Amino acid sequence: MAFLTLLRKRVLGLLLVVFGVSLITFTISHLIPGDPARLIAGDRASDALVAGIRHQLGLDLPLYQQYGRYVLDLVQGDLGTSIRTNRPVLEDLQAFFPATLELALVALFLAILVGVPLGVLSAVYHNRAIDQIARTLAVTGISTPAFWLGLGAIVLFYGHLGWLPGGGRLSEGLTPPSTITGFYLIDSLLAGNFTLFFDALKHLILPAATLGFVTLGVISRQIRSAMLDQLGEDYIRTARAYGLSRWTVILRHALPNALIPSVTVLGLTLGDLLYGAVLTETVFAWPGMGAYVVKSIQSLDFPAVMGFAILVSFIYVLLNMAIDLLYRVIDPRIGEVN
Amino acid sequence: MSTCNPVLAIDNLSLEFPAYKSSVKALNGVSLHVNPGEIVGVVGESGSGKSVTAMLSMRLLPERSYRITSGSLSMLNRDMLSAPEKDLLKIRGRDAAMIFQEPMTALNPTRRIGRQMLDVIIHHQKISASAAHAKAIALLRDMHIASPEQVLESYPFELSGGMRQRVMIALAFSCEPQLLIADEPTTALDVTVQRQVLLLLREKARQKGTAILLITHDMALVSQFCDRVYVMYTGAVVEQGLTAEVMSNPRHPYTQGLLSGLPEMVEPGQPLMTIPGQVPNLSQLPTGCTFAERCTHAMPVCAKRPVLTAIHHDEQRKSACWLPQEELS
Amino acid sequence: MSVPLSATHGPQWREKLTYLAYQIRRSPLTMAGLLITLMVVAAMIFAPWLASHDPNALNLAERLAPPSSEHWFGTDEVGRDLFSRVLYGSQQSVGVGLFVAFASCFIGGLLGCFSGVIGGRFDSLTMRLMDIMLSVPSLVLIMALAAALGASLFNAMLAITLVRIPSYVRLARGQALGIRQMGYVKAAETFGAKRWHMVHWHVARNAMPPLLVQLSLDIGSAILMASALGFIGLGAQQPTAEWGAMVATGRNYILDNWWYSTFPGLAILITATGFNLLGDGVRDLLDPRQQGK
């Protein structure tokens, strides 16, 4: 019962967000000083041709009608046509989305792998040398420009050492595995093609590590703060009063409870990574949505930018819903409250 | 008549918490002891140092947050202040156990009761999980819990406050400790439940010969429950003695103040008294008697700090006040 | 353990200063942040005196020279001295960071207080709008805005400011609502205090600390954002010495001329770290509940 109410609220929120995002992106795209019809037709096209294209795109209609048409298309899953690639935006995004998601997931995995222990150490050694070092690392991560770190990684590991490729998703000449999940790592394994798997892995390491490093700070800060809260709780004192060792108390009692409130942050971080990948993808020529959207922005391809913004916001809200559901599984107290 | 081997012996203990430009002097020369099998009360307002004493006895105060400035603390003939962590892990929960005020938050909210009890039993007794499970059930049954199996399967929030505190007591007795420190064990409970829990606690302690150090702010509780009592104020003992003697013939004005707040001690029709004023700031204690500014009997001599002295040469019965003993009571 | 600043009363500002000094000394990271920030601000102010060369002077004879005693950070593809350009670049980056943080805090704070005090339909409309703005991924929104306005540092700055505003509105409104419930404001209301006067006096003054915390935490991320825009060509344009744009140009020469992108990027990293550490410190000072978190 309570669950249905929650679901209804969430779906309503989802619609509101999509509506709002479309309104914002629509407004922005009509701020452009340039004329999209002229952009499509090219500089030398006759005025008549430009007018024709304008009419065809509906750009001669009043703004509210244009927006109405846009929303109507949106509801049917039509995000419009990219001016730059001249293909439906949804198709473009679908083609680029798995690459971005694969990068974001691996980056998140790396960030959690390092960030959680860092946050735990930071909290346990609160205000001591280890804490200061861990916090410095976290702040450095947050303060590092990803594009610059990526370049540095390319210079070192590709340029000087030659250990890893300098960009792309696969080496020249290799054919991507047939699409099942869209993740090269998984698809190549499913196809049993280990050459392909290791090649994809090699290409993934630098961008994922770069993206992971700039995300690490967010995670370790969250874990630190949640752990400090938990370590101050009475049940920790009880566990210690009954002779459980320090690390048993920390890892078996405090950490699981600190992870519960952190799930929100971890989930939303994945959402942030999807668009945070924009710069990293550009640097590593990673064929994902980020690189696509940067090119679209640079060529004032607003249908593509709007489509991207709407898609990411949509995923963001979906993630929120997923997190709500996850809470019911991992926190035994939730059921009781309702 | 002090017994040769007290389970807890605190001698002239002083402790402070360093703070900005000063330090909070939480304990100022506390001496107290608990003999085997005895139930001893420590009573005082918040800020009297009673909880700090309890926590320090188990070395549960966050290390590095405090500084011992004098004195000693030994439990079962072991110096607790210098005991290595390794030894503490064996002492805590096995030789000495502790019960806390808030049974709601004192148990891990996301672990089932069974897991939490088994963790402790297995840790100290090195027995198999199934043996530990059987033991947990027996312990809960001893606490007059009707369906122990079901309780073990529950999360803390699924139990009532009284039930949770019974679980805590069961856990406390799981290794048959020689000392049990109970820090305001019933403050958070309903009055009717309070009594049940206390009776259970005493019954179990008498049966196993466990000594109890009961920390409370409630004189009534002490009078019903304890063999002896220490009254604490601003981190020091101001009066001590057998409960009956302290209750019937309190020597220190502070003890009198605490007692006159009890409905049982006041004639019908007389107003209930409260002690005026506040506990002084522990980082700026007066050099004289710390109770003087709230005391109706304050005299010039109170500018000097009175020491705890035996009354009628009885080493068990002491008070720290300048008033001639005849003028009191 | 510590006393919040507001708890010390009276004219003892010396007391406050010693307390402040004590708090900063207790936290080496805040200290480091303060030092870095002071250094960067000094570099920004004294760039004309500190720079060894004219940042825009071409010297085609010395193109892409590696770091040397003459050119500490080397030179770029048209022979400009990179050390001097990095120094001057602090004016762009720190300028943007400070402008964005203060402007969005001022506008957002005012709007939020106003919204909270007025309440009613105006309030719900404002908040709905802010919710929507917060639900769009900020980087994308900033990039789209910057592109739509036209690529320039000023437009990048405007875009970042606009996107930062909603969080301040929310914060200030929350404070305003909370404060309105307090006795003394209710009293002022019943005595007929003008609403504007209330915004100005009671509400704005009390909403200040949390806004300042947010502001100090925002400077670093605004600097990063501005340099990111510069990197993808939506920010400062040639020949302005801007760190992000310098990294982007250096990228073309990266494999043979490592120094070109390295130093401007390092400057971004150090500056952002300084402001972020300082921001953490300010939060610890003004929001004792968050102490050390």
| pLDDT tens per residue across span A302-329 | 788 888 888 888 888 788 888 877 887 7
| Chain C positions in Cβ-Cβ contact with residue A152 (cut-off 8 Å) | 261-262, 265
Q: Is residue B109 within 8 angstroms of chain A, CB to CB?
A: yes
Grade residue C10 by pLDDT with cuts at 50, 70 and 90.
very low
pLDDT at residue C4, as a whole number = 43
C 87-146 near A (Cβ less than 8 A):
131-133, 135-137, 139-141, 143-145
Q: Is residue C22 within 8 angstroms of chain B, CB to CB?
A: yes
Grade residue B137 by pLDDT with cuts at 50, 70 and 90.
very high
Asked if residues B96 and B180 have their Cβ atoms less than 8 Å apart, the reply is yes
Question: Which amino acid, one-letter code, is at C263?
Answer: F
Domain range annotation of chain C? 43-55+73-290
pLDDT at residue C32, as a whole number = 92
Grade residue B215 by pLDDT with cuts at 50, 70 and 90.
very high
Burial A284-323 (b: 16+ CB within 10 A, else e): bebbbbbbbbbebbeebbbbbbbbbbbbbbebbbebbbeb
Kindly state whether residues B119 and B225 are assigned to the same domain: no
| Interface with chain C: mutation pick from B17, B20, B66, highest number of C CBs within 10 Å | B20
pLDDT at residue A2, as a whole number = 65
Q: How far apart are CA A182 and CA A102, in angstroms?
A: 8
- Assigned domain for B1 exists: no
Neighbours of chain A (3+ CB pairs under 8 A): B, C
Kindly state whether residues B26 and B84 are assigned to the same domain: yes
Q: Do A242 and B100 touch (CB under 8 A)?
A: no
| Owner of token pair 């550009």 | A282
pLDDT at residue A35, as a whole number = 67
Q: Do C144 and A28 touch (CB under 8 A)?
A: yes
pLDDT tens digits for chain A (338 residues)?
466 777 787 777 777 777 877 888 788 777 666 666 776 677 777 888 888 877 777 777 787 888 888 888 888 888 888 888 889 999 999 999 999 999 999 999 999 999 999 999 999 998 889 999 999 999 999 999 999 999 999 999 998 898 999 888 888 888 888 888 888 888 888 888 888 999 999 999 999 999 999 999 999 999 999 999 999 888 999 999 999 988 999 999 999 999 988 888 888 888 888 877 888 999 999 999 888 888 888 787 878 888 888 888 888 878 888 887 788 778 877 654 43
Kindly state whether residues B133 and B181 are assigned to the same domain: no
- Concatenate the DSSP letters of all residues of A121-185 into one string: HHHHTTTSHHHHHHHHHHHHHHHS-HHHHHHHHIIIIIIIS--S-SSSSS-TTPPPPPPSSS-HH
Residue B115: its H or E element: helix B113-125
pLDDT at residue B265, as a whole number = 65
Domain end residue (candidates: B176, B195, B215) = B176
Average pLDDT over residues B83-107: 88
Q: Measured between CA atoms, how close is B327 to chain A, in angstroms?
A: 45
Q: Measured between CA atoms, how close is C18 to chain B, in angstroms?
A: 10
Q: Kindly tell me if the per-residue pLDDT of C182 is higher than 70.
A: no
Domain end residue (candidates: B176, B200, B232) = B176
Q: Which domain holds residue B48?
A: 8-95+177-327
Kindly state whether residues B143 and B272 are assigned to the same domain: no
pLDDT at residue B68, as a whole number = 93
| Chain B positions in Cβ-Cβ contact with residue A237 (cut-off 8 Å) | 60, 100, 106
| Owner of token pair 């009360």 | B41
Kindly state whether residues B187 and B292 are assigned to the same domain: yes
Q: How far apart are CA B143 and CA A27, in angstroms?
A: 69
Kindly state whether residues B132 and B205 are assigned to the same domain: no
Question: Which amino acid, one-letter code, is at C29?
Answer: L
User: How many Cα atoms are found within 13 Å in the side-chain-facing hemisphere of B178?
Assistant: 12
Q: How far, CA to CA in Å, does A192 sit from each of A195, A205, B180, C1?
A: 9, 21, 63, 61
- Assigned domain for B2 exists: no
Q: How far apart are CA B43 and CA B183, in angstroms?
A: 11
| Interface with chain A: mutation pick from B51, B64, B105, B108, highest number of A CBs within 10 Å | B108
| Chain A positions in Cβ-Cβ contact with residue C262 (cut-off 8 Å) | 152
In the sheet that holds B78-79, the strands lie side by side as B22-34, B8-19, B67-75, B78-79
Burial C157-182 (b: 16+ CB within 10 A, else e): bbbbbbbbbbbbbbbbbebbbebbee
Q: Kindly tell me if the per-residue pLDDT of C192 is higher than 80.
A: no
What would you report as the CA-atom Rg of chain B, rounded to the nearest whole angstrom?
Answer: 21
- Assigned domain for B247 exists: yes
Q: Report CA B25 to chain centroid distance, whole Å.
A: 19
Six-digit token string for B251: 């020597």
pLDDT at residue A249, as a whole number = 92
Q: How far apart are CA C213 and CA C100, in angstroms?
A: 15
Q: How far apart are CA B42 and CA C13, in angstroms?
A: 43
Question: Which amino acid, one-letter code, is at C88?
Answer: Y
pLDDT at residue A177, as a whole number = 83
| Chain B positions in Cβ-Cβ contact with residue C22 (cut-off 8 Å) | 20-21
Kindly state whether residues B258 and B276 are assigned to the same domain: yes
Q: How far apart are CA A90 and CA A306, in angstroms?
A: 11
Q: Kindly tell me if the per-residue pLDDT of C100 is higher than 60.
A: yes
Six-digit token string for B174: 């799981």
Six-digit token string for C164: 């930062």
In the sheet that holds B179-183, the strands lie side by side as B96-99, B179-183, B211-216, B39-43, B228-233, B236-242, B314-319, B309-311
Q: How far apart are CA A23 and CA A230, in angstroms?
A: 42
- Concatenate the DSSP letters of all residues of B42-102 into one string: EE--TTSSHHHHHHHHTT-SPTTS-EEEEEEEEETTEETTT--HHHHHHHBTTTEEEE-S-
Q: How far apart are CA C94 and CA B186, in angstroms?
A: 59
Asked if residues B17 and B24 have their Cβ atoms less than 8 Å apart, the reply is yes
Helix then strand then coil, in percent of chain B rounded to 5, is: 35, 25, 40
Q: Kindly tell me if the per-residue pLDDT of B151 is higher than 90.
A: yes
Question: Which amino acid, one-letter code, is at A295?
Answer: K
Q: What ipTM was predicted for this assembly? A: 0.85
- Concatenate the DSSP letters of all residues of B285-320 into one string: --SS-TTGGG-TT--GGGGSPPP-EEETTEEEEEE-
Q: Do C22 and B19 touch (CB under 8 A)?
A: no
Kindly state whether residues B34 and B170 are assigned to the same domain: no
Kindly state whether residues B293 and B203 are assigned to the same domain: yes
Q: Is residue B299 within 8 angstroms of chain C, CB to CB?
A: no
Q: Is residue C255 within 8 angstroms of chain A, CB to CB?
A: yes
Domain end residue (candidates: B156, B176, B196) = B176
Grade residue B305 by pLDDT with cuts at 50, 70 and 90.
confident
Burial A202-217 (b: 16+ CB within 10 A, else e): ebbbbbbbbbbbbbbb
Cα B9-B11-B13 angle, rounded to 5 deg: 120
- Pairing, β B211-216 against β B39-43: parallel
Q: For B237-274, what is each residue's pLDDT tens digit? A: 999 999 999 988 888 989 988 888 777 666 666 666 67
What sign does the CA torsion over C39, C45, C49, C50 have?
A: positive
Six-digit token string for B52: 């700090």
The CATH code of domain C43-55+73-290 reads 1.10.3720.10
Q: How far apart are CA A168 and CA B291, in angstroms?
A: 78
What sign does the CA torsion over C256, C257, C258, C262 have?
A: negative
Kindly state whether residues B199 and B298 are assigned to the same domain: yes
Six-digit token string for C80: 């400009």
Asked if residues B61 and B24 have their Cβ atoms less than 8 Å apart, the reply is no
Average pLDDT over residues C83-103: 91
Q: How many domains does chain B have?
A: 2
Six-digit token string for C152: 């320039």
Cα B252-B13-B305 angle, rounded to 5 deg: 40
Q: Could you tell me which of A297, A107, A270 has the C-alpha nearest to residue C140?
A: A297
- The DSSP output letter for C67 is P
Q: Is residue C253 within 8 angstroms of chain B, CB to CB?
A: no
Six-digit token string for A244: 């459980």
Q: How far, CA to CA in Å, does C6 sit from each of C10, C30, C173?
A: 10, 20, 21
| Interface with chain A: mutation pick from B57, B91, B110, B179, highest number of A CBs within 10 Å | B110
Q: Do C3 and B21 touch (CB under 8 A)?
A: no
Asked if residues B204 and B172 have their Cβ atoms less than 8 Å apart, the reply is no
Kindly state whether residues B20 and B167 are assigned to the same domain: no
Task: State whether residue B229 is helix, strand or coil.
Answer: strand
Q: How far apart are CA A251 and CA A231, in angstroms?
A: 11
pTM: 0.85
B152 — alpha (psi -120 to 50), left (phi > 0) or beta? alpha
Q: How far apart are CA B283 and CA B305, in angstroms?
A: 16
Kindly state whether residues B146 and B265 are assigned to the same domain: no
